[in-house]
Amino acid sequence: MDDPLHDSFSGIQFGLDYSAYEAAQALNQSTLRRLIAPDWGNADDPHRLQALGFGNAGHCLLLEPERFLEEYTRNPDGTLSSQESEVPLSVGTWEALMNAQRSFWVHPEVKRLFVSGHSEVSLFWENPELQIPCKGRLDWWNPELGAIIDLKFAQGSGCDYVRNLVGRRYLDLQLAWYREGMQQLLGIEAQAWVVVIEKSQPNQVYAHQLSARELASGQQKIAKTIALWQREPPR
């Protein structure tokens, strides 16, 4: 069996460029989510593009701060632009991101989850039953805790809001998919966390560990969507 940490198309990859990850021919959770939510990920939705712009910048600031300073520029008119996009973000985005950063790093659960680990971790594995290549990209992996952490920026926070978000945005499917990858690669049942940061002040932060029930729901959605995918795999 190939070494899962060194084979370029299998195992756990640290520091892999996103374009290389994206080019890898393997089934991912985004494809599965679109089968039960066709409008999810609509590239023509301007509101989604704006949200993605803020979220991408926020992920970079919190998880890869050095890259953020290299790639993002605050323009004289107050907008924020990056090398990855020609479309600047709205005026005030820089201040909003700085406020979110301050709230994020003082949260006690955040300190515990992010005290060690790796950002943007790529997983490549084979589904043992279907024998198809699969992939996933984790926002953060803490090997000491065995914890997968997904970071989300949202309009709200708190327990009820986040639990609703997990189901509404199919985060249960997403995190269950990542756990399946870790189980195949490392033989462990990883913890699955969603950390939600409120976009606007007071920028509340809520860390939610998915329950056994939520993970079971995610597994059911994976089974359902894989069955749909097998009927007519997307081209």
Query: Out of 3.90.320.10, 3.40.50.1100, 3.40.50.920, 3.40.50.2300, which CATH number does the structure's domain 12-230 have?
Result: 3.90.320.10
pLDDT of the residue at 36: 87
pTM: 0.87
For residue 40, pLDDT beyond 70: no
56 Cβ neighbours under 8 A, 6+ residues apart: 82, 84
pLDDT digits 0-9 by tens, 104-124? 999 999 999 999 999 999 999
Q: How far apart are CA 192 and CA 183, in angstroms?
A: 12
Q: Say which DSSP state 27 is in.
A: B
| CA neighbours closer than 13 Å in the CB half-sphere of residue 90 | 11
186 Cβ neighbours under 8 A, 6+ residues apart: 4, 12
pLDDT of the residue at 41: 54
- The candidate with the shortest Cα–Cα distance to 56, out of 43, 72, 70, is 72
pLDDT of the residue at 92: 80
Q: How far apart are CA 193 and CA 197, in angstroms?
A: 13
Alpha helix stretches (DSSP H) within the chain: 18-23, 29-36, 46-63, 65-71, 93-105, 108-113, 159-168, 171-186, 212-231
Q: Say which DSSP state 64 is in.
A: -
